[in-house]
Every structure is written in structure tokens, then in C-alpha cells.
Structure 1
Amino acid sequence: MQEVGENETAVTEFILIGWSGRPKSRMVLMTVFIISYFITVLGNGLIVVVVICDPRLHNPMYFFLCNLSIIDLCLTTTSLPQSIANCLVDRPVMSLAACYAQMYSILLFGTTECFFLAVMAYDRYIAISNPLRYTLIINRTVCILLATSTWMAAFLITVAPCLAKPARFCGNNEVDHIGCEFKSMFKLICTDTSMSQISVYFTSTLSLILPLSFILFSYMRILAAIVRMHSEGGRMKAFSTCGSHLAVVTMYYGTAIFVYLFPQNENTHEMEKVLAAFSAVLTPMFNPLVYTLRNQEVLGALKRLLGNKKPGITY
């Protein structure tokens, strides 16, 4: 703590009390975090390696899937190792700089994933509704432009405003969470937060509701395109590809909307803490499982990679 005024004390560190006094719960949580982190790194890491190494997967769909895996790796590495360490202590302490870095990183990677899932829905819409012109519309330049735009948009919406006008913390420095989660940190700001609350809900709507609306619109068009298909095999392949993406979208957006958009009260506070703790765990862990177990091309590429068999064709 540093004295900044007669009755104010600037916060230089935070005490994370979200799971204080519950050693058994922390041990269970730590075990889940360790297993989840191992599966996430292994699964997403394999997807990145397979997509890069196998020329058969050098197309827009797997380019976006590879990027999604990289985002998931960044998101979990930002939060899980520190959360695992925090589980070992009843009242863990994090410096102001470490809390800021973790909070901004989670916001950046989480928002980027929201936008990327929307981009992947657009990619599937073009592939199914206009397959003959797919490679012309979603070419290499467009792929790079879409990927870059999602990162830039996420940065401008989440991190840039925080850097332009940093929050000031004074007095209470106890965070009711296992890590430096945004909503829990927001309660400790010692300045007037009425305008900031409006800004937060606006940003949350922009990064959650708008991409989700775009995804739903894309799938309405996709469904219409599938219904018009004459080939039963084509329909099944389209449903399989879209089913994987929809499963991830439902899991990710469902959790994020409940945590960040629903008003918090005493009845839902504990549930929000649990969901917020697992939101950065479950989706990144299940993404590679959902996309690989339902995708024969990725499974085939993985078998070729593990068997050191070179693919016979290239794009």
C-alpha cells in the first residue's frame, strides 16, 4: 500500500480471497486446472502442429481452426498457471502489475475468440452456400485480413480503453476470486464507476451479442443452403462440420453471457465465480476434442504425422 492522500491509500497488490478457508475445494480446483491445462496444451498444440505440417490442411477452414487453437493456448496460459499457484495458498497475493497483465490478457484473448468464432461461421457459410467460388472469396489474403482484423478489433475494444484511462484502486484490495477477474476487480475501483458500468455493458454487448447474432444469422443461411442440397452425403458432411462449430459456440457464449451480461446478486455470485473460473478452462479444453473427434481429415493428418507418413497431395 502507498499513501496517496489524507484518507486514501493506493493499492499496490491484491489479496485473492475467492476460495479462502476452503482448502479441500482448492485442492479439487487445482487438480481440475492441472488436468485441464495438460489436455488443452496437448490438444491445441497438436492441432497447430498438424495444420502447419500437413499440406492437405492448408485451406481457410483449418487456417482459422489453427488460429483458434493458438488463441486458446494463450488464454489458458494467461490464467491457469497462476490460478494453480493461487490454489496452494489460502490468501494468495498478486501485485498490481501482475493483476493488470492477467486481466487485460484474459479480456483480449477472450474477445478475440468471440470474433474468431464469428469469422469461422462466415467461412462455413461461404463454403456451403457458394462452394464453387469458395477459394476465390476466402483466399489467402482474405484469411490473413480477417484474422488480423479480429485481433485489432479485440485490442481496440478491450485493452486500448483501459490503457488510455487506467482504473485507480484505493482502500480495499481483496478480490473475491481465484484470479484477477474483470468483474471482481471492477468492484474495487475507488472512483465513480457509473459511466464505466455503461461502457462495460456496451463493450460486452459489442463483443458478445453482435458476434453471436452474426453467427446465428450465418447458420440460418447455412441451414437454408443445406436444405437445398440434393446429395445426402453433402448434407451429412455439412451438418458434421457445422455441428462441431455450434457445440463450441454454445459452450463459449453461454458461459460468457451469463458471467458478463447477467446482473450479479447474492444468489448467483457463487455460481458466477465457478463459471468464471472454468470459462477459461472448459472451452479451450473441449475445442480440440470437438474438432478432431468429429473431423476425419484432422484425424487422418494426425495419424500421418504420428506415423511419419507424408501426404500424397498438396494444395
Structure 2
Amino acid sequence: MIPANLSEVSEFKLLGFSEVSHLHLLIFVVLFPLYILTLVANTMIALIIHGDKTLHTSMYFFLTQLSCLDICYLSVIVPKILENLIVGTIGVSKIGCAMQMFFFLFFGVAECFLLAAMSFDRYVAICFPLHYTVIMNSRVCISLVAGTYLCGTVVGLVHTTITFSLPFCGLAINHFFCEIQPLLELLCGNSAPTEIQVIAVAVFAIVCPFLTIIYSYICIISTILKMSSTESQQKAFSTCSSHLLVVTLFYGTASSMYLRPKSSYSATVDKLLSLSYTVVTPLLNPVIYTLRNEEVKRALRKRWRNINILLK
């Protein structure tokens, strides 16, 4: 029997992929190499940008921050998933669960606002090219990044503090990490106020930066269409297309998770959505930026040549 009120609970159970236990080994075999590949790809992007002085611009400064966020974001979630796949249902302390939720929200929300900062950078570069280096100086770039981390901290603290100050009437989290929606399922009594709070914070963390991105790209597209040279238009579109792909991937899955009521929650569907934005998106980010960015590819080829010379 489970006590009616588990507000003093010290440990939760992460059920993970218990409904497909026969596929645990297959999921592990697929997920573990993807995790390592994502860590290597994002680390490589950060090191290439850091080591090439021609890439020391605001655009690549933000890209380095994105790679670092993806590494941290992924590492908060995936190790627990891998442990769950090997061991089965695992326990996680209440403090450990709260910390996982906080850091998941911290890095996730910071990435939302960082993508907005990157869109602002592209807006200034295309709409005010003559003033770009003056407007997007190092102080402004550092302030924007600091702002993204501040927003992540505030959202993470608000969600985590409110959620874990409420009484729980369940121990088993039907997910592979301490996600908000499955934890709401375990709250005692009427969880509607908490659900409203989740959606309100999600509006701030997802919709506000997304509207900033939309406005930036309306201005960008308007400026591009006014360009007389077709070559200039293609170059401008090429510069923005990578960022737009990343935004679509990240915001598409995040909004489908958090901008809807608990009544529409489906554990199986939400696990798949969570996998897409915790594993797939961080892997695709460096691929998109590498394959679609000539400067990054050129720096990568240069680094590869240097390595070959050293090995000979």
C-alpha cells in the first residue's frame, strides 16, 4: 500500500522504458553511440571555433555557447537513461530528482533564449551590416549570454521549488528522468494551479524568445528581398537557414511538450518527444552548422590537415 501523502518521500522510482523491456538492449545499443557521437561533435565544434582566430566573431561565439549547452543538457539526462536501460527501474533520491529537474530546465531554457540571441545577431548582421561590429561587441555578446543563463536559473528555481514543495501521492515516475509532466501526475489533490504555472512559465520560456526570433526573421527576410544582388540574397539566406533549422527542431518538440494541458499527457508519446529534444536535437545541431557552414568546414579541413602533418 502507498501512503496517502508522500510529501516526506525520500526516493522516487524511474520506470523508464518498462513497457518495452524486451527492447532495452536495442535502445541502449542505439543510444550509447549517439550520446558519444553527440559529445564528440559538439566538443569538436567548440574546439575548432576556439582554435581558429578567423571564427572569433559574435556568431561563432554564440555557436560555441550552443555546443556547450547541448553537451551539458544531454549529460543531465542520458546517463540516467542508459542506467535505466541496463538495470531496469532505478531509484532516484528526492534531492537528486530536484537537481535533475533544475539543471534540465536551466540548460533547456538557456538554450531557448540563446537561440533568440542568435537570431538577434543575424538580424543585426543582415539589417545593419555597417554597424554590426559596433553593435555586437564583446560586452553585448557576453551580456546576452549571461541573460540566457539568468533566465534559465529563474525558470529552473521557480519550477523546481514549487513542484517539490507540494505533497506527492505516488512514487513511480513513468519516465526516464524527472520530467515535469510525469511528476505532476504524482501530486496529491488538484494539480490545476501547478499545471497553470507550468504553462505560464513555458509561455515565458518558449513563446517569448520564439516571438523574438519570428520578429527578427520578418525583418531579415524583408531586408533580403530588397537586396539587388541575387548572390547577396543567397548568401544571406544560407547564413540564416542553419539557425532556422535548429530553431524549428528545438521549439517544435519543446512547445508540443509544455504548451498543452496535463489532460492530453501520454507517457509513451512524451517519452518519444523527450528523446527527440534531449538526444536528437543536440546531435543534429553540430551536423547542421557544420554541413551548411563553409567557414566551419574550412576550419575543420585546416585542423585535419594540421593533425595529419603532426602524425607524419
Q: TM-score, normalised by structure 2?
A: 0.92
1:172-191 map, 5 Å: 172-190=170-188
Cα distance in 2, alignment partners of residues 25 and 261 from structure 1 = 30
Moved more, 297-306 or 112-121: 297-306
Out of 103, 120, 123, the residue aligned to residue 122 of structure 1 is: 120
Equivalent residue number for residue 248 of structure 1: 246
Equivalent residue number for residue 47 of structure 2: 49
Equivalent residue number for residue 76 of structure 1: 74
Equivalent residue number for residue 207 of structure 1: 205
Amino acid at match of 1:98: G
Amino acid at match of 2:222: A
Cα distance in 1, alignment partners of residues 9 and 178 from structure 2 = 14
Equivalent residue number for residue 198 of structure 1: 196
Structure-2 change in CA distance of 1:268 and 1:162 (3 Å): closer
Amino acid at match of 1:123: D
Structure-2 change in CA distance of 1:87 and 1:169 (3 Å): farther
Cα distance in 2, alignment partners of residues 290 and 277 from structure 1 = 19
State the shift of 1:307 in Å: 2.0
Cα distance in 1, alignment partners of residues 164 and 47 from structure 2 = 38
State the shift of 1:121 in Å: 0.5
Moved more, 65-74 or 209-218: 209-218
Residues 12, 171 of structure 2: 8 Å contact kept: yes
Cα distance in 2, alignment partners of residues 301 and 52 from structure 1 = 11
Structure 2, unaligned runs of 5 or more = 308-312
Equivalent residue number for residue 236 of structure 1: 234
State the shift of 1:23 in Å: 2.1
Cα distance in 2, alignment partners of residues 13 and 267 from structure 1 = 23
Cα distance in 2, alignment partners of residues 21 and 280 from structure 1 = 20
- Residue-pair matches, total: 306
Equivalent residue number for residue 153 of structure 1: 151
Cα distance in 2, alignment partners of residues 275 and 161 from structure 1 = 20
Cα distance in 1, alignment partners of residues 233 and 32 from structure 2 = 39
Equivalent residue number for residue 63 of structure 2: 65
How large is the Cα RMSD of the aligned pairs? 2.1
Moved more, 200-209 or 12-21: 12-21
Secondary structure class of the residue paired with 1:14: strand
Amino acid at match of 2:113: F
Structure 1, unaligned runs of 5 or more = 310-315
Moved more, 256-265 or 80-89: 256-265
Secondary structure class of the residue paired with 1:88: helix
Residues 114, 145 of structure 2: 8 Å contact kept: yes
Cα distance in 2, alignment partners of residues 101 and 162 from structure 1 = 8
Q: Which has the higher helix share?
A: 2
State the shift of 1:264 in Å: 4.3
State the shift of 1:30 in Å: 2.0
User: What are the superposed Cα offsets for residues 155-205 of structure 1, whole Å, 9 maximum, x if unpaired?
Assistant: 112324534784334341000111111211122223653322221111000
Secondary structure class of the residue paired with 1:94: strand
Cα distance in 2, alignment partners of residues 245 and 163 from structure 1 = 33
Secondary structure class of the residue paired with 1:178: coil
Cα distance in 2, alignment partners of residues 113 and 90 from structure 1 = 31
Amino acid at match of 1:46: M
1:1-315 map, 5 Å: 8-9=5-6, 10-160=8-158, 162-163=160-161, 166-190=164-188, 192-265=190-263, 268-308=266-306
Cα distance in 1, alignment partners of residues 71 and 173 from structure 2 = 25
Residues 37, 80 of structure 1: 8 Å contact kept: yes
Cα distance in 2, alignment partners of residues 23 and 80 from structure 1 = 17
Structure-2 change in CA distance of 1:170 and 1:157 (3 Å): closer
Residues 103, 156 of structure 2: 8 Å contact kept: no
Cα distance in 2, alignment partners of residues 194 and 22 from structure 1 = 31
State the shift of 1:232 in Å: 2.1
